[in-house]
């Protein structure tokens, strides 16, 4: 399966943050294979070596590096696609989804917000001014999650992760309103990739229904299909890998 972003201009310019991750790397791989993609920029904490791709480094702990990466990516002209493929659910330092309010911890909550909300917010700060204006379609997208939906929350638990993704969804909505005033042809959306077979989901795959654990390449290509289909009429919303809106 391969994807061609026909709704973006010929030789469109793309920028992917989180290219060192499973899904971010899959976005880069798919975009590299799109003959319509003119310039592809891949950003990660450690510089990658990907032939034919401009690789850049940035760290959420140093906002200046995000600004530098955005500036470098836009050196050839305005960007038509920016993807923030970043996020955290757990780590080796003890960050785990809470099962009870008794598990809530200030430092762990701060870390979830730093990566899942503040990181994409800083990416938006330094990339939205570089989006193409006028009549060209441009898309700014960030990885969200269905568990960030407030109205769809019927299980509870995972307090910090849910809250950080809900906050991200509100950020996306707010950014979309400002962006629409400055670039009427631009779209700002969140993307729910489903459960993807990456280290992020690895400890939680036991109860995933058969056929609902997606390979990174499959999920990335489905989400790029969503990006190709969206229009300014749906800016500010969150969509899943099948193109269906995620409830606010």
Distance between CA atoms of residues 217 and 199, nearest Å: 15
Confidence of residue 90 (pLDDT cuts 50, 70, 90): confident
- Is the model's pLDDT at 201 over the cut of 70? no
pLDDT, position 214: 85
Segment 208-212 shows an average pLDDT of 63
Number of other CB atoms surrounding residue 10 within 10 Å:
9
- Is the model's pLDDT at 6 over the cut of 80? yes
As a whole number, the mean pLDDT across the chain is: 93
**Residue 175 domain-assigned (yes or no):** yes
pLDDT in tens, 175-197: 999 999 999 999 999 999 988 87
Q: How many residues make up the chain in this entry?
A: 248
Segment 197-208 shows an average pLDDT of 63
Distance between CA atoms of residues 159 and 62, nearest Å: 27
| Cα–Cα nearest to 50, from 12, 16, 1, 8 | 16
The residue segments making up the domain with residue 110 are 12-240
**Residue 1 domain-assigned (yes or no):** no
Looking at residue 238, the DSSP 8-state letter turns out to be E
CATH number at residue 222: 3.40.50.720
Q: Which two tokens stand for residue 200?
A: 């992020």
pLDDT, position 122: 98
- Beta bridge partners, 187, equal 139
Confidence of residue 135 (pLDDT cuts 50, 70, 90): confident
pLDDT, position 210: 62
**Residue 199 domain-assigned (yes or no):** yes
**Residue 3 domain-assigned (yes or no):** no
Tell me which of 141-150, 196-205, 212-221 is least confident.
196-205
Total structural domains within the chain:
1
- Say whether 214 sits in a helix, a strand or coil: strand
pLDDT in tens, 50-87: 999 999 999 999 999 999 999 999 999 999 999 999 99
**Residue 204 domain-assigned (yes or no):** yes
pLDDT, position 163: 97
Q: Could you tell me the pTM of the whole model? A: 0.94
Segment 92-99 shows an average pLDDT of 83
Which single residue is written with the structure tokens 């099962």?
99
**Spatial contact of 119 and 66, defined as CB atoms under 8 Å apart:** no
pLDDT, position 212: 67
Tell me which of 93-102, 179-188, 202-211, 228-237 is least confident.
202-211
**Residue 87 domain-assigned (yes or no):** yes
User: CA of 29: how far to CAs of 6, 84, 147, 190, 224, in Å?
Assistant: 17, 15, 27, 20, 12
Segment 159-170 shows an average pLDDT of 97
pLDDT, position 188: 98
Segment 218-244 shows an average pLDDT of 97
**Residue 7 domain-assigned (yes or no):** no
Distance between CA atoms of residues 5 and 11, nearest Å: 10
Q: What percent of the chain has pLDDT over 90?
A: 85
Segment 106-122 shows an average pLDDT of 97
Distance between CA atoms of residues 35 and 10, nearest Å: 9
**Residue 2 domain-assigned (yes or no):** no
Segment 1-16 shows an average pLDDT of 93
pLDDT, position 94: 74
């Amino acid at each position: 399966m391969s994807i061609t972003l026909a709704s973006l201009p010929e030789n469109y310019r793309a920028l992917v943050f989180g290219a060192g991750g499973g899904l971010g790397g899959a976005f880069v791989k798919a975009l590299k294979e799109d003959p319509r993609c003119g310039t592809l920029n891949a950003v990660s904490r450690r510089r990658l070596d990907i032939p034919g791709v401009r690789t850049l480094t940035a760290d959420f702990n140093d906002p200046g590096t995000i600004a530098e990466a955005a500036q470098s990516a836009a050196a050839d002209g305005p960007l038509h696609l920016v993807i923030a493929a970043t996020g955290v659910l757990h780590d080796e330092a003890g960050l785990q989804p809470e099962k009870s309010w008794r598990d809530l911890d200030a430092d762990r909550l701060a870390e979830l917000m730093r990566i899942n909300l503040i990181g994409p917010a800083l990416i938006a700060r330094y990339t939205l001014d570089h989006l193409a204006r006028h009549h060209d379609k441009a898309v700014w997208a960030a990885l969200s999650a269905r568990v960030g939906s407030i109205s769809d929350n019927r299980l509870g638990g995972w307090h910090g992760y849910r809250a950080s993704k809900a906050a991200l969804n509100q950020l996306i909505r707010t950014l979309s309103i400002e962006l629409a005033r400055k670039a009427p042809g631009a779209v700002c959306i969140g993307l729910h990739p489903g459960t993807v077979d990456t280290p992020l989901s690895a400890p939680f795959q036991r109860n995933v229904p058969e056929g609902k654990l997606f390979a990174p390449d499959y999920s990335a290509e489905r989400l790029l299909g969503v990006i190709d289909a969206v229009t300014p009429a749906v800016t500010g919303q969150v969509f899943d890998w099948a193109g269906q809106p995620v409830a606010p």
